[in-house]
């Protein structure tokens, strides 16, 4: 059995999810659903990061305990992911007792290996990053470049990890493994950061931060965010330094870890160093996606432009998340920033899902009923040597190739390109004219070719739009689920002879948003 293990970053449980969080989870879910169409065993992990000073302070301000705050906000994340059809296999919380116990063991092993030492330190601490910053990393005004706030000068005695010890090994690994950091243009960024890397604090004084995992044997210290949070990717699998589980041995190393570009340093430098110190293999790929802006403006609570995914669904009266999922995946090329606006959303999903794909299926089925009473005869099943069949099979290979490079937006465009090709084929062959001219054999073969194309489109679209894809398959009278179709098994000519549909069963698989028909059915 071929396994594929993929993870998201774990979201900080200090507030509710917004569409930036959703972008990453949908992207990873689309990857997971695609690779389930290719591999026997796909394992998808997500979760929440629940320790640290921000949670401690927010909870205190609200008059509740940090654990209560985490419980409230984690429930919001889980509810949101359910509404967006995120199909993770496991959701980990860093307040899980099993996770906390293994993190303590990991910390102890690193101590025993002499990779962790205690050191008095005065540094510039950014509470937003939950990280000590080097003066050279600050803006000209001495501000954190991400949070635009002045770091606090902190003097503590903490435990430090010998990150500098692993600098050369990490650089060598990046250079020898071009797939390790994706997109490739991010690799030089990481190598440049490594040139000035220093040892890092991996604990905090309990006088400064009390909400965290205690260091075994030292009641004055709690384990700092990086060993705690980053270790979730292996503790979720049952990693134990003394006795790793079968599950860990099965799935580790991760095939891809999907993260935001703002935390690439921690995943491409800190995380590999921790794994090297633990004598564990590194993930095959760290994929860093871009940010989502709102109307070309970075999301900010102070500006008031933070949007929750449910706000989008509610504003367009969408009962399912497919359209939102699709738009979020096509808004940016791999690794680049994307933008959300209501206008872009309406125009893109109406063009691709309603007009292109949805209308193609709807008008073809209607012609099949009008001219042939919904019946397909054996002699009208077309062979795979026609140009559309060849394009369908080629599109499967193109989509697979795109996903192998985690190019989710580009893969969607390959599907749309094929749908455009099929639409052009319909317009060029004009089956309505063939029927009018009583060229019924030719008309029947054209319609069959289009219906077979829609079967391919449904399977390829399923990772993005599982509900729409299933509607396509049901209207094609398919017994299998679109999301379960194995791409390598897709062959031309598998819609059998017989009754495929009848007039009463034909309905649009996606209604145009803000149209009269959508308004009548959704907003009445």
Residues marked active site are found at: 18, 21, 126, 129, 144, 147, 298, 301
From the CB of residue 480, how many other CB atoms can be counted at a distance below 10 Å? 10
Residues 87-122 as b/e (b if ≥16 CB within 10 A, e otherwise) read: bbeebbbbbbeebbebbbbbbebbbeeebbeeeeee
Q: Are 239 and 170 in contact (CB under 8 A)?
A: no
Both tokens of residue 332?
A: 């940016």
Q: Let me know: does 83 contact 94? Beta carbons within 8 Å.
A: no
The DSSP result for 156-190, as a single string, is EEEEEE-GGGGHHHHHHHHHH-TTSEESTHHHHHH
Q: How far is CA 432 from CA 3, 218, 440, 449, in A?
A: 48, 80, 10, 15
CB atoms within 10 A of CB 188: 11
Alpha carbon distances (Å) from 220 to 49, 57, 159, 454, 507: 22, 19, 11, 63, 66
**Helices 322-330 and 342-349, packing angle to 10 deg:** 100
- Collapsing DSSP to helix, strand or coil, 230 comes out as helix
DSSP 268: I
Nearest CA-CA partner of 4 in 47, 41, 46, 45? 41
| 8 Å CB contact between 18 and 207 | no
The per-residue b/e assignment along 452-466, b for 16 or more CB within 10 angstroms, e otherwise, is: bbbbbbbbbbbbbbb
Number of H helices, E strands in the chain: 21, 19
CB 66 within 8 A of CB 56: yes
Distance CA 292, CA 23 (A): 8
Structure tokens of 27? 């992207």
Burial code (b: 16+ CB inside 10 Å, e: under 16) for 414-437 equals bbbebbeebbebbeebebeebbee
Residues facing residue 115 across a β-bridge: none
Pick from 448, 443, 431: nearest CA to 384: 448
Structure tokens at 132: 């000590």
Distance CA 27, CA 419 (A): 22
**Other Cβ atoms within 10 Å of 449 Cβ, number:** 26
């Amino acid at each position: 059995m071929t396994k594929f293990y993929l993870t998201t970053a774990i979201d900080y449980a200090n507030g509710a999810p917004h569409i930036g969080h959703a972008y990453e989870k949908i992207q990873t879910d689309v990857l997971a659903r695609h690779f389930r169409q290719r591999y026997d065993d796909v394992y998808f992990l997500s979760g929440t990061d629940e320790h640290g000073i921000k949670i401690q302070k927010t909870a205190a301000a609200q008059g509740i305990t940090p654990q209560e705050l985490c419980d409230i906000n984690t429930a919001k994340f889980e509810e949101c992911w359910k509404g967006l059809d995120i199909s993770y296999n496991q959701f980990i919380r860093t307040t899980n007792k099993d996770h906390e116990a293994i993190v303590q063991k990991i910390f102890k092993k690193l101590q025993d290996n002499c990779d962790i030492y205690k050191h008095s330190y005065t540094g510039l601490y950014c509470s937003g990053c939950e990280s000590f910053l080097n003066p050279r990393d600050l803006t000209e005004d001495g501000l954190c470049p991400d949070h635009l706030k002045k770091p606090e000068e902190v003097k503590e005695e903490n435990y430090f990890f010998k990150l500098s010890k692993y600098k050369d090994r990490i650089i060598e690994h990046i250079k020898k493994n071009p797939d390790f950091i994706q997109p490739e243009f991010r690799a030089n960024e990481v190598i440049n950061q490594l040139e000035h890397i220093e040892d890092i604090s991996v604990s905090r004084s309990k006088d400064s931060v009390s909400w965290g995992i205690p260091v075994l044997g030292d009641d004055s210290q709690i384990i700092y965010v990086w060993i705690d949070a980053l270790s979730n990717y292996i503790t979720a699998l049952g990693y134990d330094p003394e006795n790793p589980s079968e599950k860990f041995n099965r799935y580790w190393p991760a095939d891809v870890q999907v993260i935001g570009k703002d935390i690439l340093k921690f995943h491409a430098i800190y995380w590999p160093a921790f794994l090297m110190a633990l004598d564990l293999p590194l993930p095959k790929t760290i994929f860093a996606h871009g940010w989502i802006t709102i109307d070309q403006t970075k999301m900010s609570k102070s500006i008031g432009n933070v949007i929750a995914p449910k706000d989008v669904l509610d504003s367009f009266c969408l009962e399912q998340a497919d359209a939102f999922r699709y738009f979020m995946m096509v808004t940016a090329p791999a690794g680049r920033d994307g933008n959300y606006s209501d206008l872009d959303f309406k125009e893109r999903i109406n063009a691709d899902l309603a007009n292109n794909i949805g209308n193609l299926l709807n008008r073809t089925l209607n012609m099949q009923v009008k001219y042939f009473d919904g019946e397909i005869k054996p002699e009208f099943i077309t062979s795979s040597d026609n140009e559309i069949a060849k394009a369908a099979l080629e599109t499967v290979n193109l989509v697979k190739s795109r996903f192998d490079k985690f190019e989710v937006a580009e893969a969607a465009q390959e599907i749309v390109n094929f749908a455009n090709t099929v639409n052009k084929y319909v317009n060029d062959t004009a089956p309505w004219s063939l029927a009018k001219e009583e060229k019924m054999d030719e008309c029947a073969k054209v319609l069959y070719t289009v219906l077979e194309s829609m079967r391919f489109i449904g399977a390829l679209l399923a990772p993005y739009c599982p509900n729409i894809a299933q509607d396509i398959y049901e209207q094609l009278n398919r017994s299998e689920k679109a999301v379960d179709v194995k791409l390598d098994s897709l062959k031309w000519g598998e819609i059998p002879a017989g009754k495929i549909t009848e007039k009463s069963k034909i309905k649009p698989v996606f209604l145009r948003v803000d149209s009269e028909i959508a308004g009548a059915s959704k907003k009445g």
